[in-house]
Amino acid sequence: MARNHIINAVEDRIAVVTISHPPVNSLNEDVIKELSDIFKELEGDKNVGAVVITGGGEKAFVAGADIRMFNDLLGKREKIFIGAKAMQECFTKIENFDKLVIAAINGLALGGGCELAVACDIRIAAENAVLGVPEVKLGIIPGAGGTQRLTRLLGKGKAKMMVLGGGFFSARDAFDMGLVEKVVPHGQAVNEAKQLAREFLSGGPLAIRNGKKAINVGCNMMLEDGLHLEAELLADLFMTEDAKEGVQAFFEKRPPKFQGK
């Protein structure tokens, strides 16, 4: 399938998905459609065990939506609602993707770009990265899941500081507040993300899938229900060939060869 804004390169079971929409990789309907499509394809690709998302060029990861479109959208409530739902559905697909997804934040991650990063499992930021959801400065709010995912990730206070304040945060500040998991030198975000993905890929793919589900679904449940879900998912894994292989490899003192079944 021909794509104008998404580049996908697979190496060593890691897909590097690059959003390429110069000058700052802004989001629009076409970019969201292509991003959603590529994740649909990767979901069924048995040669891919992890995904790294990054931005093309050296300036931005994703610097939000294209504000030039906003004038034409003022007063068009239904169109805004439909567009917001499309972004939310795309980012939810990424959040619930059954493989590891790492955001390699190589520059500006503002508005929808910050919301995209928060939908990923782990965020690696280059030291020159800047993150934020500045929509309030335009008289609006984030609409791609930011108000909900930031609250779940950071807590109400920090989420309100970001959403209601609309400020920009350096990579170090983002790390200190728990918005990113690691800060690396300029130009090293993708390499670090790929290295981390390789480490994760030594684990069982079904265990990664069930672990993600336990966390993503369980955190929205009452504790008792979340614990029940965890036990169910663990019990399911003990019925798999991967679990047999993992235990056998441990006793044989060798690396396991997981098959995802």
Mean pLDDT of the chain: 93
Tens of pLDDT, residue by residue over 75-87, are 888 988 998 999 9
**CATH for 205-251 (3.40.50, 2.30.320, 1.20.120, 1.10.12):** 1.10.12
State the pTM of this model: 0.92
In this prediction, residue 154 carries a pLDDT of 96
Average pLDDT over residues 19-39: 93
pLDDT at 173: 97
Q: Do the bridges between strand 169-170 and strand 130-132 make them parallel or antiparallel, or are there none, so unpaired? A: antiparallel
Nearest to 250 by CA among 199, 204, 200: 204
What is the set of active-site residues?
A: 115, 135
For residue 100, which of 23, 181, 26, 27 has the smallest C-alpha distance? 181
Mean pLDDT over 139-165 rounds to 95
Write the pLDDT tens digit of every residue in 60-70. 999 877 777 77
pLDDT of residue 46: 86
Does the pLDDT at position 1 exceed 60?
no
- The pLDDT score that the predictor gives to residue 102 is 98
- Is residue 120 within a helix (H) or strand (E), and if so which, with residue range? none
Amino acid occupying residue 150: L
Token pair recorded at residue 60: 């931005």
Measured CA angle at 124 (ends 120, 129), to 5 deg? 110
User: pLDDT-based confidence at 125, cuts 50/70/90?
Assistant: very high
Mean local confidence (pLDDT), 114-137: 97
Would you state the pLDDT for residue 2?
A: 67
For residue 232, pLDDT over 80 is answered with yes
pLDDT (average), residues 16-32? 93
Q: How far is CA 72 from CA 12, 79, 88, 103, 107, in A?
A: 44, 10, 21, 31, 28
Is residue 24 helix, strand or coil? coil
Mean pLDDT of 40-63: 92
- Return the CATH class of domain 6-200: alpha beta
For the chain, give every domain's residue range: 6-200, 205-251
pLDDT at 145: 94
154-203 pLDDT, tens digit per residue, is 999 999 999 999 999 999 999 999 999 999 999 999 999 999 999 999 88
